[in-house]
């Protein structure tokens, strides 16, 4: 397998693993929330406190952050994006170095 094909394969495998973990996270969140709701409301377990609401809310917030990381952030800021940014910064540095060397070469020698 060529290097480019291998990189594409590894990237696809990584993305599928990330998405699978997000789906698992969602199913686990749903099942735990359902269990907490049923145990609190149906079985009257510690019904006076609303701790299950807070727990579900915090977990939902963590899930949303996980979802954003996988489906938004990692989608755009991947290895290709990183390479483009590095190439852009290297080109800027090379341009500045050439400009400085041209300025040094153009200055008349001092007596």
Per-residue pLDDT of the chain (111 residues; tens, 9 = 90+): 688 788 888 888 988 999 999 999 999 999 999 998 888 888 777 767 778 888 999 999 999 999 999 988 887 777 778 888 899 999 999 999 998 888 888 877 665
0.75 exceeded by the pTM?
A: no
Burial code (b: 16+ CB inside 10 Å, e: under 16) for 14-24 equals eeeebeeebee
Q: CA 49 to CA 64: how far, in whole Å?
A: 25
What ranges in the chain are assigned the alpha helix state H? 3-41, 51-68, 74-76, 79-106
């Amino acid at each position: 397998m060529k290097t480019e094909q291998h990189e594409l394969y590894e990237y696809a495998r990584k993305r599928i693993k990330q998405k699978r973990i997000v789906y698992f996270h969602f199913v686990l969140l749903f099942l735990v929330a359902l269990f907490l709701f049923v145990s609190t409301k149906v079985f009257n377990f510690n019904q006076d406190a609303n701790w299950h609401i807070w727990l579900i809310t915090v977990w939902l917030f963590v899930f949303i952050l996980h979802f954003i990381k996988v489906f938004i952030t990692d989608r755009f800021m991947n290895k290709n994006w990183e390479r483009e940014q590095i190439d852009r910064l290297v080109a800027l540095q090379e341009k500045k170095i050439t400009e400085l060397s041209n300025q040094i070469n153009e200055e008349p020698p001092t007596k």
